[in-house]
Amino acid sequence: MRLRLVVFDVDGTLVDSQASIVAAMTGAFGAEGLMVPERAAILSIVGLSLDHAMLRLVPELAAETRARLVDGYKAAYHAHRLEQGAAHSPLFPGVAEALENLSGNPEILMGVATGKSRRGLDALIEAHGLERYFVTRQVADDHPSKPHPAMLLAALDEAGIGAEEAIMVGDTSYDMDMAHAAGVPGLGVSWGYHAPEMLKNAASVIHQVGDLPVALDRIWEKTA
């Protein structure tokens, strides 16, 4: 049996968390009396670790101010999650079925690699009842920010899978660049927060969740 690993990004790939992200960022900047970045700018940094995200958004601010923004964002996001539960980051249509179908294939293992914190990821997985799907969960707490390959390399190591037997699925250039740096094919999705043309290191890009199985098989056929 040829064991393979599919590693998913979370925000913008599995769940549509943009409303919660924008609301938390608005709360963080408002608490500091600062102008809130435009929505497009906020969504452009989704996937990065928070410290890197703030540096991209407001490089002109002092490090101490950016650190307070990070803390403010975490507090606002946590409060929003407690208030709304699973509704604060709903699964994209078709994602639940896709994960269930993939889990039924004994040759495929699944994992996640995300800019979320451990607390945030675990809460989301519990809220959506996804606990049984992922054999490896890599988060921003333990690794450098994407596109550094550390979290993807850790996922490979934890699952005991070689890079040629894995695929990284994500919606941002950070995901595709991380995959490229780790020697793993990247499968881009167009329903997230970066436009498809930004996914330059993707082996392929899909436009609906239902295309996932065929796209995975085609990439693996090329690496066989």
| Given 9, 16, 175, 177, the catalytic residue | 9
Side-chain-side CA neighbours of 78 within 13 Å: the count stands at 11
11 noted as active-site residue? yes
| Given 11, 16, 171, 175, the catalytic residue | 11
Reduced to 3 states, what is the DSSP secondary structure of residue 202? coil
Q: How many residues does the chain have?
A: 224
Q: How many CB atoms are located within 10 Å of the residue 93 CB?
A: 12
- How far apart, in whole angstroms, are the C-alpha atoms of residue 26 and residue 210? 34
- How far apart, in whole angstroms, are the C-alpha atoms of residue 127 and residue 67? 28
- Give one DSSP letter per residue of 194-218, joined into a string: S-GGG-TT-SEEESSGGGHHHHHHH
Matching residue, tokens 């670790």: 49
| Preceding amide of 59 cis, omega within 30 | no
- How far apart, in whole angstroms, are the C-alpha atoms of residue 223 and residue 84? 43
Active site residues: 9, 11
